[in-house]
Every structure is written in structure tokens, then in C-alpha cells.
Structure 1
Amino acid sequence: MKNKIIFIIALAICLFPFVTPPIALLLGILTVNFFRNPFFAYTQKATHLLLQISVVGLGFGMNINEALKAGKEGLLFTVFSIFGTLTLGYFLGKYLKINNKISFLISAGTAICGGSAIAAVSPVIKAEEKEISIALGTVFILNSIALFVFPFIGTQLNLSQAQFGLWCAIAIHDTSSVVGAASKYGNEALQIATTVKLARALWIIPVTFLSAFVYHSKDTKIKIPYFIGLFVIAIIVNTYIPFVHNFSNSIVHISKIGLTLTLFLIGSSLSKETLKSVGIKPMLQGILLWIIISATSLIVIL
């Protein structure tokens, strides 16, 4: 009972305006490691749903023309980085002698959109629960670090809003951390990062089909990220229906609060047991892939 009360209080603290996404993530990590997460069975589903709702809400703060421009600028970058990451991940996995499926899941999560890509690809390659957990643990740990490190590096290098937004979308795994880091940097960075990242997330579909071919999987349902379509509709509505502007700022504000809560819930899944279950070699693969794609994309952007 005590743990439940503490968890609910910690979650409620995230509603205050002084709690930024990185602080919410850190608060979630501290809460689970000192008091446990008594709602673990529910928070995973809540995290997924809340993230999708928050991202769709952010669409009400964007203009379709600016979104198309951002998506077009990041398209070529996206294609090369995705297939480059998958190829590099394959060879790193072989070199480090990591289980093929774990290596592929980490590579897919790094290449596209973190946990969402792992969730989409894992049933296609018939990954076991432990293999999925290791890949998710690796990605979530690195996502947590990115939320603190990327805004700091961006500030030190004096990156523009546009540069930082594009860099976030390419180099940070999960949509939640991309939006969290970009929102801390500025509104323009947030718009560019969200648009490019969600355009990138659509590559889940061809990569999942490719996975089915490589792993000789048949009759496997492929999950399509439908919320991306709702995000696009929200942008179109905000652009062409002036009446929506009366409350679009409120929707965006609530969505940012939803994102902060999402990052608290993600932090609350990073227990000591999760960290220990990952293992050295998968984590090393994840770190090396992450450093290479981060450094390469930053050099190209600069």
C-alpha cells in the first residue's frame, strides 16, 4: 500500500510545470529502484497509449507546409541511416558473438524508433520474451542517457533549432526521448524532430517485411503505426481550419504534460533487475551503434 501511494505521489509531481521530461524520467527511475513499481503490469500499456495520444496532440501545434519541408529534408538522411545502422549492427553482432535475434532487435530499435520497432519486429522473427526484454532494456537505458546528454551537447556546439531537431530524430532511438529532448531545446526543434521521427517510424513497415523475408516467417501479422496517420490529420486540421487555433495551444500544452508523464512511466520500468538482465555484450553493441550513428549524423548536419 505504501509503495502505491508513493508511486502515485511521484506521478502527480510530474504534473507541476517545473518538472521537465528529463526530471520526470529520473524521478521514475528513482521511484522504481527505491520503492518499486506496484503497477508494472499496467504502466507498460499506459506508456504506449499515452505516448501515442501525446504525439497526436503535438500535431495541433504544427503547420503542414513546415512539416512537409522537414520530412523532405530528413528523407534521404533517414534512408541511409536506417540501412547503414542495420548493416553495421549485423556485423557488430557477429563480431561480439551476440544472439542473432537480440542483435537484430537492437539494430532495428536503434535504426528506426526504439521500443516501437522492437515490438513490431519481434513477433515476425519469433523472438523469445527474454530476447525482447534484453533489446528493450538496452534501448531504454540509452534513451534515458540521451535525454540528458543531447540537449547539453547541442548547447555546447551551439546547434540551431533546426540542426538539433534533425539530429535528435536521427540519433535518438525512441520517439518519447526524441520529443522530450527536442522540447527542452525549443519549439522549432520539437516540430522538426517530431515530424522527421514519425516519418522515420513509417520505415517499421518495410523493415518488418524485410525481417519476415530474412527469417523466413510466414503468416505473421505486421503492426502498422496508425497513430502516425492521426498525427498527420492533426497537422492538416490545425493548418486549414482556423477555428482550431482557439484551443490548439491548450492541446499542445496538455500533450507536453502527457509526454512528461510518459517519460516518468518509462523511467519506472528501469529497475535494477532490468539493468542487470541486459548483459555486457548487447549493451556494448547498443552503445557502439549509438555513438557511430550520433557522431556520423552530427558531422553531416554540421
Structure 2
Amino acid sequence: MDTSKVLDRHISIRQMVFAVAVLFCLTPLVTPPLALVLGLIIALFVGHPFLHLNHKATHILLQVSVVGLGFGMNAATALKAGREGFLFTVVSIAGTLGFGLLLGFWMKIDKKTSLLISGGTAICGGSAIAALAPVIRAEERQVSVALGAVFILNSVALFVFPVVGHWLGLSQAQFGLWSAIAIHDTSSVVGAAGRYGPEALQIATTVKLARALWIIPVSLLAALFFRGGAARKGGAKVKVPYFIGLFVLAILWNTWVPMPAVSHVIVGASHAGLTLTLFLIGSGLSRQVLRQTGVRPLVQGVIVWVLIAGATLWAVMGLAG
């Protein structure tokens, strides 16, 4: 009986600590990197009391926040950014997928895990993995390993990219393009670009979301290559990122029916939502996830990520030259 009471108290305290951390992340005192670190501390030393709801919560919160960012953007600028990033997107996605799959084959990583890691690195992190997994009928273990590898590297990028960008003297336009292509997940792209400047944020968000649309053709190709997969039997559907359409509508609304006061509130709330998203991502990186990831998939993810980050940086800096 005493043990039960202690356990109940422990769970209640854990939930209280988590709730306080969530509220703290919604204040202007917390930056995206700090939110991520706070989430990691919760995951490793306190424990996420609602871990079973974490993936769905981050998914919804990220999409709502990204749509809100559209109310702070202009259609002409966004169109220009998307057009300039198109060639980078096509070349980098094809190159990353091809190299990642070859590397996975050479390292003897199973094909499905290798594709999930390569697809997550090439397109948009966890969203790409979530879209590809049912199409190729990946097992839960394979999905967990891929998500673990991508989220760990995604967390590192949030800290490293702004430092490298300032060190190399990248312009906001250059940094926005580089981060959109070389950082895995939309949340960290927005977090890193938002720290760099407003122009970087607008370019990065537009290019990243245009890149996310490539989930559809890549998922269809994956269904063709994985014979016997759910998609060939009619048991799986490609998940279309519909929220990108709402993001475009928000940009058009802000361009044609500007309401500065309202937009300011929405954009501010969206930034807070993205900071909270990063906290939730960090709090989901439990010891179990870190153990499941293992060495070889993480090494594959690091090599592929360094390749795309380095090649994109070289290309972006070449534009200025």
C-alpha cells in the first residue's frame, strides 16, 4: 500500500514537472534550442508522462504552427524563394536518396530502415518517415530506429547550423536555403532560421514545405520497389501533406487582406507553438529510443547528413561567388 502511494505521488509529481516545463516553453524566455535541451532533460531524468500521445501532439502542433507562420509572409517573396530552391531540391533529394541507399547496402543495414533514414534525411525528417513506413510496411522497430537517428541529428543541427552560418558570414537568404535543404525536420528548420533572421525564416519555411511535397512521388516509387508491400495490395495510402495548402492560403490572405495586428498575434503564437514542438520532440528522445537507434543506422544517418549539408553549403556559397 505504501509503495502504491509513493508511485502515485511520483507520477503526479512527474506530470506536474512536465506541465510546468510546457508552460515555461510558451514564454518568451525560452528559445527553440533551450526548449529542445529542456525536453531532453525531462526525457532522461524525469520521464515523459504522456509519451504515448507525444508523436500525435507534435505532428498536429507543428502543422498548426507552420500554417500560422504563413500569416507573416508575402506571396511574391515566398514564390521567389520556392522558385530559387527548386533545382536544389530536386538534385539534393535524388542524390541523398541514392547515396543513402547505397551506403545502407554497403553497411548491411536492412533495406526498409535504410530507406526510412535516407528518406527522412532527404525530404523532411519524421514526416517523411511517417509517410513512407505504411507504404513499405515497415515494422515498428524499423520506424523507431529511423526516427531516433533522424531526430538525434535534427537536434544537433538546431545548435550547429546558426553557429556555422555566422562563422562563415552567410547572408539570411543563403542560410535560409541551406537550412531548408540540409536540416531534417521542419520544426528545427524554422527554429534555426528564426534565430538567424526574418528573411532566413521566410525562405527556409517556403523551401522546406515545397520540399515536403516530394513525399508523394518518393512514397509512390517506394511502393513500386518494395514488391509485396501494402501499397501493391491496396492496403496502404500515401499521406498527402494537406496542411501545406493551408499554409499557402495563409500567405495569400496576408498578402491580399493584410491585417497587421491580427497577423502579429498569430505569428507570435506560431513561434511559441514551434518552440513547444521542439520541447516535445526532445522529451520524446527517451533512453529506450537512444538504445534502439544503435550504432550502424546512426552512422549511416550522420554520413548522409554530412554529405547533404556539406554539398548544399558549397553550392549556396558558390551562388554568392
TM-aligned CA deviation for residue 289 of structure 1: 0.2
1:281 to 273, 285, 296: 296
SS across alignment from 1:224: coil
Q: Quote the Cα distance in structure 2 between the aligned partners of 1:114 and 1:165.
A: 17
Mean alpha-carbon deviation: is it higher for 7-16 or for 46-55?
7-16
Q: Which residue of 1 aligns with 2:257?
A: 241
Question: 1:1-302 to 2 correspondence within 5 Å?
Answer: 1-216=12-227, 217=229, 218=232, 219=234, 220-242=236-258, 244-302=259-317
TM-aligned CA deviation for residue 271 of structure 1: 1.2
Aligned length: 301
The ranges of structure 1 where at least 4 consecutive aligned residues each deviate by more than 2 angstroms after the TM superposition are none
Q: Quote the Cα distance in structure 2 between the aligned partners of 1:252 and 1:119.
A: 27
Q: Quote the Cα distance in structure 2 between the aligned partners of 1:226 and 1:276.
A: 34
TM-aligned CA deviation for residue 207 of structure 1: 0.3
Q: Quote the Cα distance in structure 2 between the aligned partners of 1:122 and 1:206.
A: 14
Name the aligned partner's letter for residue 232 of structure 1: V
Q: Quote the Cα distance in structure 2 between the aligned partners of 1:123 and 1:155.
A: 40
TM-aligned CA deviation for residue 272 of structure 1: 1.5
Mean alpha-carbon deviation: is it higher for 9-18 or for 62-71?
9-18
SS across alignment from 2:109: coil
SS across alignment from 2:85: helix
Q: Quote the Cα distance in structure 2 between the aligned partners of 1:235 and 1:146.
A: 27
Mean alpha-carbon deviation: is it higher for 14-23 or for 195-204?
14-23
Per-residue deviation, residues 264-289 of structure 1 (Å, max 9, x unmatched): 00000011111111011000000000
TM-aligned CA deviation for residue 255 of structure 1: 0.3
Per-residue deviation, residues 182-234 of structure 1 (Å, max 9, x unmatched): 11111110000000000000000000110111112311211000000000000
Structure 1: gaps of 5 or more residues: none
SS across alignment from 1:38: coil
Structure 2: gaps of 5 or more residues: 1-11
Q: Quote the Cα distance in structure 1 between the aligned partners of 2:238 and 2:27.
A: 39
Per-residue deviation, residues 119-166 of structure 1 (Å, max 9, x unmatched): 000101010000000000000000100000001100111110000000
Mean alpha-carbon deviation: is it higher for 138-147 or for 216-225?
216-225
Name the aligned partner's letter for residue 186 of structure 2: T
Q: Highest CA radius of gyration, 1 or 2?
A: 2
Q: Quote the Cα distance in structure 2 between the aligned partners of 1:290 and 1:124.
A: 24
TM-score (norm 1): 0.99
Name the aligned partner's letter for residue 27 of structure 2: F
Q: Quote the Cα distance in structure 2 between the aligned partners of 1:12 and 1:169.
A: 28
TM-aligned CA deviation for residue 45 of structure 1: 1.0
TM-aligned CA deviation for residue 245 of structure 1: 2.6
TM-aligned CA deviation for residue 246 of structure 1: 3.1
